[in-house]
Amino acid sequence: MSIKTTTHLNFTGDARAALEFYASVFGGQPVIRTYGDFGMPEDAPGAGNVVFGEVASDSGFRVMAYDIPGRGGGARDNATRRENGVTLTDQPFFVSVSGETLDEVQGHWDALSAGATIVEPLAASAWSAGFGMLTDRFGVTWILGVDG
């Protein structure tokens, strides 16, 4: 059994460029999925923005990123929260932890959730057998998920 932690960066429209840059610096190939890839109409504003992005290199570097929904730049929101089905945040990063099984991830979720604010409950998603988000009692926002 093993876990890995990954920094998850939040952008306001620059996630693709950032991921491509990190790949050029550290190696690896960016994996990018847009809001349009997950069903947003192609002509909708932000459909080409990144909803899931990752760069992982053979040397062990790994970073994830996305574009905050509805944000094209400017002021950030004042908290991490769910609103109208999307996650809104003012956080410059999340800590992402993934495990091999739902039971493994559930154990970490249960421990981290003590005194936490749940942003998205741990549950099955389109990309994972389990995915959830919370802000712990110290103000750190965590994403936990089962590897796909």
Question: Are residues 5 and 95 in contact, defined by beta-carbon separation less than 8 angstroms?
Answer: yes
Checking if the pLDDT of 75 tops 90, the result is no
Which pLDDT score is estimated for 49?
A: 95
pLDDT band at 79 (very low <50, low <70, confident <90, very high): low
d(CA 96, CA 118): 15
- Long-range (24+ apart) CB contacts under 8 A made by 69-72 are 69/35, 70/46, 71/12, 71/13, 72/12, 72/13, 72/45, 72/46
Structurally, the chain folds into a number of domains equal to: 1
Domain of 32, in residue numbers: 3-146
Which pLDDT score is estimated for 58?
A: 92
Checking if the pLDDT of 76 tops 50, the result is no
Query: Three-state DSSP class for 17?
Result: helix
Residue 20 neighbours by CB under 8 Å, 6+ apart: 30
CATH number at residue 33: 3.10.180.10
Which pLDDT score is estimated for 139?
A: 80
For range 67-86, the mean pLDDT: 65
Checking if the pLDDT of 85 tops 80, the result is no
pLDDT band at 71 (very low <50, low <70, confident <90, very high): low
For residue range 55-65, list pLDDT tens digits in order: 999 988 899 99
What is the CB neighbour count within 10 angstroms for residue 34?
A: 20
